[in-house]
Amino acid sequence: MKKVAVALSGGVDSSVSALLLKKQGYDVIGITLKLSSVDLCDPNIQVCCSTKDIVDAKKVANFLEIPHYVVDWQDIFKEKVIKYFIDELLTGKTPNPCAICNRDVKTGLLAKYVKKVLKVDYLATGHYIKTREMDKVGKVILRGSDESKDQSYFLSLIEREVLDSLIFPVGELTKEEVRKIASEHKIPVSQKKESFEICFTAGKEPYIYLSEIGVREKVGEVIHISGKVLGKHRGLSAYTVGQRRGLSIPWKEPLYVIDKDYKRNIVIVGEKEHLLTDFAKAKNFNFLVDIKFWKDIKVQGRYRQKPVELKSFEFDGQFLTVYFKEPQVKFAPGQILAVYQEDMLLGGGIIF
């Protein structure tokens, strides 16, 4: 009997994942990470990894009659995710903490941990992702069947060596089907709301979060792309490339954030046409499929973005550069550039 650890988050997706695996005959263990000591009481803020989620995960494990372990990784989370998030913001980037967390904490690192410590064969999560064995390239990640819930983008940085030990039991299902299964089997969290905010910021805007933890940003100038000074900004973390709302600058045409210059501490704004570009670059690229097998690829520079068709691409051993068929709105530096061939995820890197 194969042994699998399920990353029980306290939500409906991971709970149904554990149920399905148990019904399929796996020896199932539940494991929950403690990443924060914050107990959120506001019902309008939906985040993962709160202390209440640990309680909910324990209820689910008891209900399914499976062993359950809680692992305190608060220090790891602070170092790998929160510190990264703060550092990126303060250097003018728009970080993607969920992708980093999946690689360095609650999927990638956890998969290695459970295999070594709990001696399991697999780690299962509630991500809406599918996998398949392909000739020549091995196991690959595919988009989930529910297009509106597909989470493959957030796993584009997962190390190739970890992929073989991952299982995604709800990847073939829609969210509605998962809810129905949970309800029919009377799983305790069947009606629990989804998490949709960054867990450690509790739904706060990045600049507010930084202020509340005592990080003070310098005020700087907002400059039109022509060189004209238009006003002051409240800190680089309050702005992202492509942003229109919240600029509060009177101008004859709508203005957008075109760029941020960390060294000069300025926000550069301009009309929409100045946002357009015909290429994007990514560093630290993570290859889930060897580049020699790539063909007819498309890219995403934002979650839920419609995949962008390419004219060509090149990798110089350090940077991946992709050239668009049609000009596109700039991707924000710090976000993830995920590469796809139809529904197959080929890898991802950090946009710069």
In order of start, what are the domains of the chain with their CATH numbers? 3-201 (3.40.50.620), 217-270 (2.30.30.280), 276-351 (2.40.30.10)
Active-site positions?
101, 199
pLDDT digit string, tens, across residues 286-330:
999 999 999 999 999 999 899 999 999 999 999 999 999 999 999
Using the predicted structure, report yes or no on whether residue 80 has a pLDDT greater than 60: yes
> Which residue would you say has higher pLDDT here, 277 or 45?
277
225-236 mean pLDDT = 95
Model pLDDT, residue 50 = 72
Instruction: Compute the radius of gyration of the chain from its Cα atoms.
Output: 21
b/e for 281-311, b at 16 or more Cβ within 10 A?
bbeebbbbbeeeeeeebbbbbbeeeeebebe
What confidence score (pLDDT) does residue 199 get?
84
SS3 content of the chain, % helix, strand, coil (to 5): 30, 30, 40
DSSP code per residue over 279-317: EEEEEEEEESS-GGG--S-EEESSTTPPPEEEEEEEE-S
157-176 per-position pLDDT tens digit: 999 999 999 999 999 999 99
Residue 128, sorted as left (phi over 0), alpha (psi -120 to 50) or beta, turns out to be beta
